[in-house]
Amino acid sequence: MSFTSIAFLFFLPIVWTIYWCLRRRQWQNLLLVCASYVFYGWWDARFCVLMLTSSLVDYILGLALGPPPANDETGKTRLRRRRLLLGLSLGCNLGLLGIFKYFGFFVGSFQAGASLLGWSPNPVTLEIILPVGISFYTFQTLSYTIDIYRGQLQPTRKLVDYLAFVSFFPQLVAGPIERASRLLPQFQRPRQWNRDAAGDGLRQMLWGLFKKVVIADTLASPVATAFASPETADGPQLMVATILFAYQIYCDFSGYSDIAIGTARLFGINLMRNFAYPYFSQSIVEFWQRWHISLSTWFRDYVYIPLGGSRGGKRQTWRNAIVTFLVSGLWHGAAWRFVAWGGLHGVSLVALPRPAGKISIDQPGGNSLVPKLGILLRMIIVFSLACAFWVFFRADSLADAWLVWKKIVTEIHLVDGYRKLILEYQAGGPLFGICHLLGVFLVIEWLNRHKPHPIDFPQWPRPLRWSVYSILIWFVIEYGRRSDANPFIYFQF
Give catalytic residue positions: 332
Question: For 411, which DSSP code?
Answer: T
Residue 320 and residue 281 in contact, taking contact as beta carbons nearer than 8 Å: no
Task: Please give the Cα distance from 259 to 261 (Å, whole number).
Answer: 6
Give the distance, in angstroms, between the CA of residue 326 and the centroid of all CA atoms in the same chain. 16
User: Which contiguous run of DSSP H or E holds residue 167?
Assistant: helix 159-167
Question: For 169, which DSSP code?
Answer: G
In DSSP notation, 218-238 reads: HHHHHHHHHHH-TTTS-HHHH
Give the distance, in angstroms, between the CA of residue 342 and the centroid of all CA atoms in the same chain. 14
What interhelical angle do 398-410 and 373-394 show, nearest 10?
140
Residue 398 and residue 392 in contact, taking contact as beta carbons nearer than 8 Å: yes
Please classify residue 358 by burial: count the beta carbons closer than 10 Å to its beta carbon, then call 0-12 exposed, 13-18 middle and 19+ buried.
exposed
Residue 265 and residue 198 in contact, taking contact as beta carbons nearer than 8 Å: yes
Centre a 10 Å sphere on the Cβ of residue 320 and count the other Cβ atoms it contains: 22
